[in-house]
Amino acid sequence: MSHSATSTLREAGHKIGPVNVDQVLKDVNILGSLDDKTRKILNKDAIVFLAVLHRTFNGTRKALLQRRVIRQAELDKGNLLDFLPETKHVRENDAWRGPPPAPGLVDRRTEITGPTDRKMVVNALNADVWTYMADFEDSSAPTWDNMINGQVNLYDAIRKQVDFKQGEKEYKLRTDRKLPTLIARARGWHLEEKHMTVDGEPISGSLFDFGLYFFNNAEELVNRGTGPYYYLPKMESHLEARLWNDVFNLAQDYIGMRRGTIRGTVLIETIPAAFEMDEIIYELRDHSAGLNCGRWDYIFSVIKRFRQNPDFVLPDRSSVTMTVPFMDAYVKLLIKTCHRRGVHAMGGMAAQIPIKNDAEANEKAMDGVRADKLREVRAGHDGTWVAHPALASIANEVFNTHMPTPNQMHVRREDVHITANDLLNMNVPGKITEEGIRKNLNIGLGYMEGWLRGVGCVPINYLMEDAATAEVSRSQLWQWVKHGAPTSEGKKVDKAYALRLLHEQTEELEKNAPKGNKYQVAAKYFATQVTGEDYAEFLTSLLYNEITNVSDKTPAAKL
Ligand SMILES: CC(=O)SCCNC(=O)CCNC(=O)[C@H](O)C(C)(C)COP(=O)(O)OP(=O)(O)OC[C@H]1O[C@@H](n2cnc3c(N)ncnc32)[C@H](O)[C@@H]1OP(=O)(O)O
Ligand SMILES: O=CC(=O)O
Ligand SMILES: [Mg+2]
């Protein structure tokens, strides 16, 4: 796209502009390196658009993050959460609905998810699935290269120009059928993208991911029969959804696109958001593509938000299943709410992945995935997630058998009545064991070690581990030490015990890892997080500086 000193980007239909490019670009810096390919994506017009987003919305974003801090202070005093009295009218009004599903989103029974590196993009689009969530979030470490090249890969994939060769292997998009609908997951409101600054501040990771994908592809996607679709992670209130809606409106107006063309599926993956499901759909209204049960972040959020409260201490991670009372209540409420409002209620991610060298263990793992998908379809979910192409056939088989229609929005779940007590019912059977502690340490260390090398999703003990699952492990360790939880072996989990096991696990992992691994760095950070004292809001924010080398002295790229 060309630019001029006064660019309207598109003369026809736009409502915002004309924009004085030189003026907007004043005090905008790109601190990450650019080559010919990335420069095409992060072109001047795109940068102008991102700067407009930043200047319009960053103040609100920061104020909303501050609201999280204020709410946390209330919870730290022992207060609980409840449905909001001020939005009762939204919940009780039966008259409003979300929009009908957008093109390409009517049937989304099996969604594959994964990071946006070129190989994974091709493999995901070739998988036997209906939709593909291309992930800039939980399964991506946000290095500059990952984020910007991910945008290049999606740009090329949308235009079917993504084929490439790696060694002898050719990666080619299949041509024998329609490709799955693409949905991009932007980073959450809490993350920043340090490689682009506006007026001396880093731009929000959400606005960067959303904006670049939108600006470069929205029109192309519509021309190809779908649209600019997103997954929106880690929100904590309907006001954060309102901010997304405002962003969507501005973006569509900016390029002259009909409002309501963008669609966002919101992950309900924080405990405060579970109390505002109706309100979140209401805020996004014409842009809503439903809600999703982001189970891993949800467990993380329950522990995080109530970490000072001894009533919320949970047993070993493996005991916190989808059928324990608080998880069951959350699933049921989500499905009921979505279907009442005519939008999709998406299921989530079973962590099992294929085990290649042990047929028996593999069968057991696949049975676990099958059981999870069966529970989801029977509960009324309209679709589910798979972490790996080899799991698509299992999800398809279960959903094809039990969901003959493209979705099951007609399943209204009037039988379900979920109260605040149900959402907060921590009656979870199970024990805290030394094995559970060691597993959490291995997951935390293993995940952080990969993340520090730029890998955002790793297999550990034949389970998919990503930013959300690692947070569950980290938060459990913190919580157990904080509350001096007893183990089934008769020990009290305290700081000395946690640090001793951390040391042992680090040694063990390092012994078997290639030279140049990052276990020592991971352990240094993890040690600050598992002693019941400091608790970073997010591991990814805590570690971010380790994967960026941006400073005041970094020269800006020439625009
Ligand atoms: C809590 C949440 O947010 S869940 C959502 C976020 N998490 C995810 O999206 C999980 C994504 N999954 C993955 O990253 C991977 O499946 C892992 C890391 C768990 C396992 O990866 P690997 O060890 O490489 O698996 P494996 O060796 O079996 O892969 C076989 C092939 O499938 C490909 N593959 C595996 N998972 C995916 C995927 N999700 N999308 C596309 N391709 C995939 C691999 O690239 C590999 O391709 P190749 O044969 O061309 O080299
Ligand atoms: O994003 C999904 C989750 O489970 O977390
Ligand atoms: Mg998540």
Q: Are strands 463-465 and 458-460 parallel, antiparallel or unpaired?
A: antiparallel
Question: What is the distance, to the nearest Å, from the Cα of residue 257 to the centroid of all Cα atoms in its chain?
Answer: 26
Instruction: Answer yes or no: is the C-beta of 389 below 6 A from any ligand 1 atom.
Output: yes
Is pLDDT of 12 > 70? no
Look at residue 516 and give its three-state secondary structure: coil
Residue 25: which residues within 8 A CB-CB, separation 6 or more? 44, 47, 48, 51, 559
Residue 330 CA to residue 316 CA, distance in Å, equals: 20
User: Across 130-187, where does the E strand assignment appear?
Assistant: 131-135, 164-166, 169-171, 181-185
Instruction: Answer yes or no: is the C-beta of 297 below 6 A from any ligand 2 atom.
Output: yes
Longest dimension (CA), the chain: 72
What number of other Cβ atoms are within 10 A of residue 267's Cβ?
A: 25
Can you say whether residue 93 is alpha, beta or left, with left for phi > 0 and alpha for psi between -120 and 50 degrees?
beta
Token representation of residue 33: 């390196």
Token representation of residue 180: 């799955």
What pLDDT is attached to residue 348?
A: 98
The rounded Å distance from CA 258 to ligand 2 centre is: 30
Dihedral of the alpha carbons of 160, 117, 386, 427, in degrees to the nearest 10: -150
What pLDDT is attached to residue 23?
A: 86
Phi, then psi, of 458 in degrees rounded to 5? -135, 150
| Residue 7: pLDDT band with limits 50, 70, 90 | very low
Pick from 313, 225, 227, 233: which is nearest to 266 by CA?
233
Look at residue 486 and give its three-state secondary structure: strand
Q: Which position has the token pair 């962003």?
A: 247
Name the strand (E) or helix (H) holding 291.
strand 288-293
User: Is 411 in contact with 402 (CB distance < 8 Å)?
Assistant: no
Is pLDDT of 558 > 90? no
Pick from 184, 109, 102: which is nearest to 381 by CA?
109
Residue 508: which residues within 8 A CB-CB, separation 6 or more? none
What pLDDT is attached to residue 2?
A: 38
CA atoms within 13 A on the CB side of 66: 6
Pick from 311, 325, 365: which is nearest to 482 by CA?
311
What pLDDT is attached to residue 553?
A: 83
What pLDDT is attached to residue 17?
A: 60
Question: What is the distance, to the nearest Å, from the Cα of residue 242 to the centroid of all Cα atoms in its chain?
Answer: 18
Tell me, what amino acid is at 248?
Answer: F
Pick from 144, 146, 115: which is nearest to 202 by CA?
144
Residue 57 CA to residue 239 CA, distance in Å, equals: 13
Nearest alpha carbon, ligand 1 atom 11:
114
Is pLDDT of 19 > 90? no
Pick from 110, 184, 100: which is nearest to 346 by CA?
110
Instruction: Answer yes or no: is the C-beta of 137 below 6 A from any ligand 2 atom.
Output: no
What is the DSSP secondary structure assignment for residue 13, as one 8-state letter? S
Residue 5 CA to residue 22 CA, distance in Å, equals: 6
**Which positions are annotated as active-site residues?**
185, 466
Residue 403: which residues within 8 A CB-CB, separation 6 or more? 109, 377, 382
What pLDDT is attached to residue 14?
A: 44
| For ligand 1, mutation pick of 112, 139, 388 (most atoms within 8 Å of CB) | 388
Look at residue 159 and give its three-state secondary structure: coil
Q: What is the pTM of this model?
A: 0.97
The rounded Å distance from CA 381 to ligand 3 centre is: 18
The rounded Å distance from CA 129 to ligand 1 centre is: 14
User: Is 519 in contact with 506 (CB distance < 8 Å)?
Assistant: yes
Residue 265: which residues within 8 A CB-CB, separation 6 or more? 183, 229, 230, 231, 232, 288, 289, 290, 291, 292, 344, 346
Instruction: Answer yes or no: is the C-beta of 72 below 6 A from any ligand 1 atom.
Output: no
What number of other Cβ atoms are within 10 A of residue 260's Cβ?
A: 16
Name the strand (E) or helix (H) holding 281.
helix 277-284
| Global ipTM | 0.99
Instruction: Answer yes or no: is the C-beta of 354 below 6 A from any ligand 1 atom.
Output: yes
Is pLDDT of 243 > 70? yes
Look at residue 230 and give its three-state secondary structure: strand
What pLDDT is attached to residue 145?
A: 97
DSSP 411-479: ---TT----HHHHT---------HHHHHHHHHHHHHHHHHHHTT---EEETTEEE-HHHHHHHHHHHHH
Question: Distances from the Cα of 57 to the Cαs of 17, 229, 346, in angstroms?
Answer: 17, 20, 29
Intra-chain end-to-end CA distance of the chain, in Å: 14
What pLDDT is attached to residue 175?
A: 95
User: Is 446 in contact with 506 (CB distance < 8 Å)?
Assistant: no
Helix (H) and strand (E) counts in the chain = 20, 17
Residue 356 CA to residue 333 CA, distance in Å, equals: 37
User: Is 233 in contact with 297 (CB distance < 8 Å)?
Assistant: yes
| For ligand 1, mutation pick of 123, 169, 358, 540 (most atoms within 8 Å of CB) | 123
Is pLDDT of 549 > 90? no
DSSP 424-437: T---------HHHH
pLDDT digits (tens, 9 = 90+) for 325-378: 999 999 999 999 999 999 999 999 999 999 999 999 999 999 999 999 999 999
Question: Distances from the Cα of 537 to the Cαs of 34, 356, 475, in angstroms?
Answer: 31, 36, 10
Instruction: Answer yes or no: is the C-beta of 295 below 6 A from any ligand 2 atom.
Output: yes
pLDDT digits (tens, 9 = 90+) for 407-464: 999 999 899 999 999 999 999 999 999 999 999 999 999 999 999 999 999 999 999 9
Is pLDDT of 160 > 70? yes
For residue 354, give the ligand 1 atom closest to its CA: 28
